[in-house]
Structure 1
Amino acid sequence: MKKLVLTGAAGRLGSYLREPLTQMCEELVSTDIAEDIGTLYPGERYEKGDLASLDDMMRILEGADMVVHFGAFVDEGPFEQLLGPNFIGAYNVWEAAHQRGLRRVVYASSIHAVGMYPKNECIDTEVRHRPDTFYGLAKCFAEDLGSMYWDKRGLESVHLRILSCAQVNNARALGSWLSYDDLIQLVQRSIDTPVSGFSIVYGVSNNDRAPVDNAKASFLGYRPKDNAEQFAEQVLAETGPLDNQDPGHMCHGGPFASVDLGQSGLAGMNVIDDAKKT
């Protein structure tokens, strides 16, 4: 592959994807709205760009084979705050990918597209959308956008419904954890699978308590290796009784399922910023 583009390269998950993606192409173009992203890896260059600008996306995607789209406002907030980067940004990436002749978009979707399902209901990749927030709604929009661009324009896309890619420090994460190594494998398989069409796959490790079913996405070749059960004894010892009437405990979306629309979901989570440093 000659050129890959990674949006959201300044983010925590992007920091773990940059180096392995350079091994899959002659040139990795990393992009974000930050002024820089630190020391670049061999074969990587950085281009500042705004997802809300179609002109920026057209410029950055020129000559690319695929785009790995991880850029977004990564929390719940007022609709107006998400409109530019998450809604319009998704359209700009797909439209620029179409106009520039890319083959595939690999998109960081989220469990929050289906976050209002009860957690004791194991859901597969074909359940209808049940977003828990405006943030989740933006993921639904991008999934439907990808479906439409595949049906109408032949642009492939793989939508990674990531559950929780962060350190395991709460009971929910015993089922929802996606390790960084499994994240990398998931993105790699989404890129190198021969044919994807429009596909959805859950971003989750091989957890004993995983509440989702990836059987219908097995053709992608994603076989997670890590298991959050190694953290269970310590996490459960530190966790008090959970309220079974609280959507934050009972729904797939966790704290995002219990907050009011427009209010931060991350504020109720202890997400540790362990971004990879270059």
Structure 2
Amino acid sequence: MKKLVLTGAAGRLGSYLREPLSQLCDEFVSSDIADNVSNLAQNETYVKADITDLDAMTTLLEGADMVVHFGAVGDEAPMDVLWGPNFYGAYTVWEAAYRNKLRRVVYASSIHAVGMHKKTDFIGIDAPHKPDTFYGLAKCFAEDLASLYWDKRGLESVCMRILSCAQPTNSRAVGTWLSYDDLIHMVERAINTPITGFSVVYGVSNNDRAPVDNAKAQHLGYRPKDNGEQFAAEIYSTDGPLDPHDPANTHHGGPFAAVELGNSGMAHLNLDTDDTGKH
């Protein structure tokens, strides 16, 4: 394609995506609120822009074919913290995409949009929204916004409900792991699938214990290759028996399902200090 835009480019997952996405287009524009990013690709331009600024987003997306939207606060927080970047920021991206006649928005949604479903319920992409936090509620809002803009304005979207895109360090991650290679593969398929309409897909690797079903997202051609089972024996022996009555163990949202609204869920994920991002 001619021009592709990535928001949230200075974040951990955005940083992984920059190089592969630059190979899919003639002109690649990465954006975030950071002053700059390093190691720009030959065809990459970095633009500092705030996703809560509709005019800035409209300018950013001018002439683009698609936008990959990863910009947001990446953890549970009080509503007044999330309202701008996670709620209104989603609106500005879709509205700017519509005003610029983009074909598609590829969105980093999250398992937390359905995080209060029980893990023993093998949910599909059509599971009703059941957010576990204000953060998850923002993902529900953006998914519904995506659906609305497709139904009323013909703007395609792929909403990727990412589970755990970080090195597995806990029992939950054996099933919810999304490897970085599979993340890149999923985003590429969300971009290059000819027709998507409004689509939802779970961002999870080919794990033996994956707790979600992508059967109704087969049209995207997302075929993950990595498997979290390789971590099972060591992690399970370290964690020991889990409390079967703790919502952090029994619900799709993990610790996000157990924390009080407005309190960090990330703080309970036991992630490596050098690998702390999650959507």
Under TM normalisation by the shorter chain, which class is it?
over 0.9
How many angstroms does 1:240 deviate by? 2.2
Q: Distance in 2 between matches of 1:59 and 1:240?
A: 52
List 4+ stretches of structure 1 deviating above 6 A. none
Paired letter, 1:256: F
> What corresponds to 1:242 in structure 2?
242
> What corresponds to 1:149 in structure 2?
149
Q: Residues 16-27 of structure 1: matches in 2 within 5 Å?
A: 16-27=16-27
Unaligned runs of 5+ in 2: none
Cα offsets for 1:43-77 (capped at 9, x unmatched)? 11100000100011011000000000001000000
Q: Distance in 2 between matches of 1:274 and 1:170?
A: 13
How many angstroms does 1:102 deviate by? 0.2
What TM-score do you get using the length of structure 2 for normalisation?
0.97
Q: Distance in 1 between matches of 2:275 and 2:245?
A: 32
> What corresponds to 1:104 in structure 2?
104
Q: Distance in 2 between matches of 1:251 and 1:274?
A: 23
User: Matched residues, percent identical?
Assistant: 68
> What corresponds to 2:53 in structure 1?
53
> What corresponds to 1:15 in structure 2?
15
What TM-score do you get using the length of structure 1 for normalisation?
0.98
Q: Distance in 2 between matches of 1:169 and 1:83?
A: 30
How many angstroms does 1:104 deviate by? 0.1
How many angstroms does 1:194 deviate by? 0.3
Q: Distance in 1 between matches of 2:246 and 2:51?
A: 35
How many angstroms does 1:270 deviate by? 2.0
> What corresponds to 1:186 in structure 2?
186
| Partner secondary structure for residue 143 of structure 1 | helix
> What corresponds to 1:139 in structure 2?
139
CA RMSD of aligned residues (A): 0.8
Q: Distance in 2 between matches of 1:162 and 1:262?
A: 20
How many angstroms does 1:183 deviate by? 0.1
| Partner secondary structure for residue 123 of structure 2 | coil
Q: Distance in 1 between matches of 2:33 and 2:148?
A: 28
Paired letter, 2:32: D
Paired letter, 1:77: A
How many angstroms does 1:17 deviate by? 0.4
Q: Residues 56-67 of structure 1: matches in 2 within 5 Å?
A: 56-67=56-67
Q: Distance in 2 between matches of 1:122 and 1:39?
A: 41
Q: Residues 220-259 of structure 1: matches in 2 within 5 Å?
A: 220-259=220-259
